[in-house]
Amino acid sequence: MKRIISNISLQARFGEVTALLGANGAGKTTTIECAQGLQNRTAGTISLLGQDPENAGAALRARVGVMLQDGGLPPAARPVALLRHVARLYSNPLSVDALVDRLGIAEFSATTIRRLSGGQKQRVALAASLLGNPEVLFLDEPSAGLDPQSRLMVFELIRELRDAGKAIVLTTHLLDDAQRLADYVYIVNHGESVTEGTVPELLSQSTASQSQRTMTFEAGPGLDTSALAHEHVHCEETRPGSYRLAGALEPADLARFGQWCARLGVMPTSVHLASQSLEDVFLAIAASREPATVKPHALKTEIR
């Protein structure tokens, strides 16, 4: 039997958003499914609201909301009718009408699930996960397929749920989402915990220091950027006409960039300078497989 996860320890606290990050196949979805009791583990311990989810009954499940990445929605159903059906499964559900209004579901309420876009299905799945007013909420790729406006709407709702004291555990491959939403981040690689911490902690702990900067700019394709690179800075053309200059950028590098533009007669159409992001940290740590620093709740999971 193939072992998918073998050394993962995580905790999720009330009033926080906990993000689980990893490349495809890293084991994050399997970890979350085990934590929910949707998959049985072969070793380790899991405590969800003080109970083992594998042995818990309906009383525990009623206190937990789950939004699966594939939605798990019946394709022939219509959104509002489905939500009203789900609401009847709970003794004291949230208002279906309020969730439909909040998530903009009314605009496609007459359409069957199979005909909805990916982002529309995500909004229906999120509403369904919230109907029972759960104490713990598992969100698997909650912003996948959302347009920018819907993404901001979902972000705002997640923050409100956090501020209301919910424990929220999310997985996402969109590291910018985690940087904006997460109070605490776990990075997993090849089924093992790699490192953990708040976003500021991860930025300061990584092998790439806070002095690291990234400058991106748009110009003509195929330009010779060798003059911009040196021992501590590298430059690459990420796609035709788009360039990324990264490393320990100093004021002298910006002056060199200006001189390079003048020499080649290049006028960039856009230039963006940014500090190190969580994506930079994730890529650096996942590549190096630095060992986790485990620090001593709604959820405590140890799978070994």
Per-residue DSSP letters for 103-142? TT-GGGTTS-GGGS-HHHHHHHHHHHHHTT--SEEEEEST
CB 34 within 8 A of CB 28: no
**What is the per-residue pLDDT for 285?**
63
Of 82, 87, 164, 177, the closest CA to residue 123 belongs to 82
**What is the per-residue pLDDT for 291?**
44
The listed range with the strongest mean pLDDT (158-172, 189-203, 225-239) is 158-172
Per-residue DSSP letters for 261-293? HHHHT---SEEEEEE--HHHHHHHHHHHTPPP-
Average pLDDT over residues 28-46: 82
The Cα 173–Cα 188 span in angstroms is 12
**What is the per-residue pLDDT for 287?**
59
**pTM greater than the 0.85 cutoff:** no
The Cα 62–Cα 65 span in angstroms is 8
Tell me the β-bridge partners of 168: 17, 137
Q: Which residues contact 65 (CB under 8 A, 6 or more apart)?
A: 129, 130, 131, 132, 134, 136, 137, 138
**What is the per-residue pLDDT for 75?**
95
Q: Which residues contact 64 (CB under 8 A, 6 or more apart)?
A: 36, 48, 49, 134, 135, 136, 137, 138
CB 167 within 8 A of CB 136: yes
Domains of the chain and any CATH numbers: 8-204+281-303 (3.40.50.300), 213-275 (3.30.70)
The listed range with the strongest mean pLDDT (8-22, 58-72, 119-133, 180-194) is 119-133
Strands 184-189 and 16-21 turn out to be parallel
Q: How confident is the model at residue 100 (pLDDT cuts 50, 70, 90)?
A: very high
Average pLDDT over residues 133-138: 96
Q: Which residues contact 296 (CB under 8 A, 6 or more apart)?
A: none
**What is the per-residue pLDDT for 295?**
38
pLDDT tens for 241-289 read 889 888 878 889 899 999 999 999 989 887 877 766 676 666 666 555 5
Tell me the β-bridge partners of 51: 48
Percent of the chain clearing pLDDT 90 (strictly above)? 42
Burial class of 47 by CB neighbour count within 10 A (0 to 12, 13 to 18, 19+): middle
